[in-house]
Structure 1
Amino acid sequence: MKVDNYKKELLYRKAQKSKHLDKFRSKMENLISNAKNCTTQLDLQETDKLIRAIGATHWPSSTNEDFSSTADFFNHIKNELLQQECYILIDDDWRYCGAILTKNNCELNIKYSFDENHSDEIRFISADLSIFASIDYIHNHYPPL
């Protein structure tokens, strides 16, 4: 019997989910204050379909914006993206736990701590795939000079 590579990979990722799930849920609940009431966790196949759609999307324009703080970035996201349904990909945990689909009533925690949550990247994508925003956080483990 021949098993295709995608099914094999999917089975592996499903098996790894238990290792990542508690950490993933904690990050999600720390990022979105009312996560239990306004989010749906996509299964891995739905997430893979989303990733393929994102990869096939031609973004009409791209801008890099600098924000003075993570709170400023999250305020921007709250005003731009969370007024509609959007997808959220947290770190690499989405590979094992799935993407998050938010409703338009989610409350983003602008005081989300990347250090406390051992987090380094969050991506926000509008449900219609017209807007993509991400924050890539670099942990500074060095003492101040």
Structure 2
Amino acid sequence: MQMICRFRKERELLYRSAQKKLKLPGLQNKIANLLGDIGIKSFLSLSETDEIVEQALRNNFFYHEEFAFSSLNDTWRYIEGKMQETDCYLLVDTDWQYCGAIVVDKEFRLSDDFNFDDVVCDELRFFSREGDKVATVDFSNSINDDTYTCSYTEYEK
């Protein structure tokens, strides 16, 4: 039974890796518009990325907050403030499932010119490399009402 589960997981990783060729150009465009060339180091492998997500799901949190912003500038200041001086992994939309997490340096700056609609993006997740905090942005676009819902969670160490 364990061999079958391992085989399924390996097969899923192979499928996801094959999809990377289709997803990567769009993800690179999102990242270039979001961060430029500053702060990006590399991509994690899919198995490394899966481990980060699985670890976060196993962690017990001791603090959580959510806010909604109508201004992109306010959204970015919130995220940068929460993740200030923190080396991060960035997971974008569902692209991370095929391309892996992006390794981002603590000096990262989010572009005020970023447009979620233009790059077809609606979800950003910043995981601290220490695994002790996560900040998220979910973009929702309705007629004349762009809303950025942010959350911040700290986990027990």
TM-score band, normalised by shorter chain = 0.7 to 0.9
Give the paired residue count: 142
Give, in whole Å, the separation in 1 of the partners of 2:44 and 2:51.
Answer: 10
Alpha carbons 2:82, 2:135 under 8 Å: kept: no
* Letter of the 2:35 counterpart: I
Under a length normalisation based on structure 2, what TM-score does the superposition of the two structures give?
A: 0.81
Residue number in structure 1 paired with 2:27: 24
Relative distance call for 1:107 and 1:34 in structure 2 (3 A) is farther
Q: Which runs of 4+ in 1 moved over 4 A?
A: none
**Aligned with 1:74 (options 59, 70, 76):** 76
- Secondary structure in 2 matching 1:96: helix
Unaligned runs of 5+ in 2: 146-157
In terms of fraction of residues, the more strand-rich structure is 2
Alpha carbons 1:42, 1:100 under 8 Å: kept: yes
Following TM superposition, by how much is the alpha carbon of 1:53 offset from its aligned partner in structure 2, in angstroms? Answer: 0.9
Following TM superposition, by how much is the alpha carbon of 1:112 offset from its aligned partner in structure 2, in angstroms? Answer: 1.4
Following TM superposition, by how much is the alpha carbon of 1:27 offset from its aligned partner in structure 2, in angstroms? Answer: 0.4
- Secondary structure in 1 matching 2:112: coil
Alpha carbons 1:30, 1:112 under 8 Å: kept: yes
Residue number in structure 2 paired with 1:131: 133
* Letter of the 2:22 counterpart: K
Give, in whole Å, the separation in 2 of the partners of 1:111 and 1:71.
Answer: 9
Q: What is the percent sequence identity of the aligned residues?
A: 31
Following TM superposition, by how much is the alpha carbon of 1:77 offset from its aligned partner in structure 2, in angstroms? Answer: 1.6
Unaligned runs of 5+ in 1: none
RMSD after superposition = 2.1
- Secondary structure in 2 matching 1:77: helix
Give, in whole Å, the separation in 2 of the partners of 1:18 and 1:96.
Answer: 9
Alpha carbons 1:123, 1:134 under 8 Å: kept: yes
Relative distance call for 1:110 and 1:63 in structure 2 (3 A) is same
* Letter of the 1:29 counterpart: A
Give, in whole Å, the separation in 2 of the partners of 1:143 and 1:112.
Answer: 18
Give, in whole Å, the separation in 1 of the partners of 2:75 and 2:135.
Answer: 10
